[in-house]
Amino acid sequence: MRVWAVANQKGGVGKTTTSIALAGLLAEAGKRVVVVDLDPHGSMTSYFGHNPDALEHSCYDLFLHKGQVPQGLPGQLLLPTSDEKVALLPSSTALATLERQSPGQSGLGLVIAKSLAQLWQDFDYAIIDSPPLLGVLMVNALAASQQLVIPVQTEYLAVKGLERMVNTLAMINRSRKQPLPFSIVPTLFDRRTQASMGTLRVLKDAYPEQIWQGYIPVDTRLRDASRAGQTPSQFDAKSRGVVAYRALLKHLLAQQLVAQVA
Ligand SMILES: Nc1ncnc2c1ncn2[C@@H]1O[C@H](COP(=O)(O)OP(=O)(O)O)[C@@H](O)[C@H]1O
Ligand SMILES: [Mg+2]
């Protein structure tokens, strides 16, 4: 199983949309995918028609055993999505109680890594939708993954948020064997606006190695897909947004091959 985290310490940049779009496209390519909703807001869980305020069991259950994960528990927590090849490890509002804990002291930093290790045989990919706060959950997401996708909204303030995320990553990398490779993905791009064009230029100058050369355009079909509770490619396989996400997936798969060889 390959594990990708989608993270940025800013909200509304397209993390959840990117996680679900990539999961749907991997499923379309025949892969079995587990999506992990580590955001206490539970947007991904809601997207697939489950109510994070009402769920009795969620990812939260995984954190209740002093850092150990009981055999079989992750599999029991899985919920269905609109795509039979995509399973969901749901969020619940209870996760918020963990979010502000200091990651170093609680001993809970590897709970998600251990949980996914139990699902190794059942899935080809795991995609983790991460919370915007730096705490136990973000640390878990980054510790469990082999590749990081950072969606960045193409507007001026976004660059600051990205710097914060890159600093967080540097901190996490100190306790990893190998640094976590990351790809910056410009999102919500509108070529008619100065802000989008200007920000894209700034991003390319600042992170020439890590930035994906494409961008995800503003596409209302992505919003419509979320309203319908379907993955973007199920909802409209030819929309501009899906075409862009397809190109992104191709790039990420190529990056993965480079990482495996290195
Ligand atoms: N490329 C896009 N075009 C249009 N709307 C988008 C696009 N990406 C995301 N959205 C919408 O913007 C909002 C925030 O996106 P979301 O993926 O939930 O961000 P995050 O998870 O970072 O908070 C959602 O309503 C989503 O449907
Ligand atoms: Mg989200």
Of 48-52, 100-104, 120-124, which range is least confident?
A: 100-104
Q: What is the pLDDT of residues 159-197, one digit of tens each?
A: 888 999 999 999 999 988 889 999 999 999 999 999 999
**Residue 253 carries which DSSP code?**
H
pLDDT of residue 103: 65
Q: Quote the CA–CA distance of 2 and 195 in Å, as a whole number.
A: 35
pLDDT of residue 100: 73
* CA 8 to ligand 2 center in whole angstroms: 10
- 128 pLDDT band, cuts 50/70/90, is very high
**Residue 8 carries which DSSP code?**
-
Q: Where are the domains of the chain?
A: 2-261
Q: What is the pLDDT of residues 63-109, one digit of tens each?
A: 999 999 999 999 999 999 999 999 999 999 999 998 877 766 678 99
Judged by its nearest atom, the ligand closest to the C-alpha of residue 248 is 1
- Output the six-digit token pair for 255: 């990056």
Q: Where are the alpha helices (DSSP H) in 32-90?
A: 43-47, 73-77
Other C-beta atoms closer than 10 Å to the C-beta of 12 total 12
Q: Quote the CA–CA distance of 102 and 30 in Å, as a whole number.
A: 39
pLDDT of residue 109: 92
Q: What is the pLDDT of residues 139-161, one digit of tens each?
A: 999 999 999 999 999 998 888 88
37 pocket-lining for ligand 1 (C-beta < 6 Å)? no
Q: Is the pTM of this model over 0.85?
A: yes
For residue 6, the cross-strand partners are: 129, 149
- Residue with the smallest CA separation from ligand 1 atom 13 is 12
219 pocket-lining for ligand 1 (C-beta < 6 Å)? yes
Strand order in the sheet with 33-37: 79-80, 86-89, 33-37, 125-129, 2-6, 147-153, 182-187
Q: Domain 2-261 in CATH: superfamily?
A: P-loop containing nucleotide triphosphate hydrolases (3.40.50.300)
223 pocket-lining for ligand 1 (C-beta < 6 Å)? yes
pLDDT of residue 256: 85
pLDDT of residue 156: 86
With contact defined as beta carbons under 8 Å apart, do 140 and 109 qualify?
Answer: yes
Q: What is the pLDDT of residues 245-261, one digit of tens each?
A: 999 999 999 988 877 66
**Residue 94 carries which DSSP code?**
G
Q: b or e along 132-156 (b: 16 or more beta carbons within 10 Å of the residue's beta carbon)?
A: bebbbbbbbbbbbbbbbbbbbbbbe
Specify the residue for token string 């206490």: 40
pLDDT of residue 261: 63
Q: What is the pLDDT of residues 210-247, one digit of tens each?
A: 999 999 999 999 999 999 999 999 999 999 999 999 99
- 133 pLDDT band, cuts 50/70/90, is confident
46 pocket-lining for ligand 1 (C-beta < 6 Å)? no
Mean pLDDT throughout 14-20?
Answer: 98
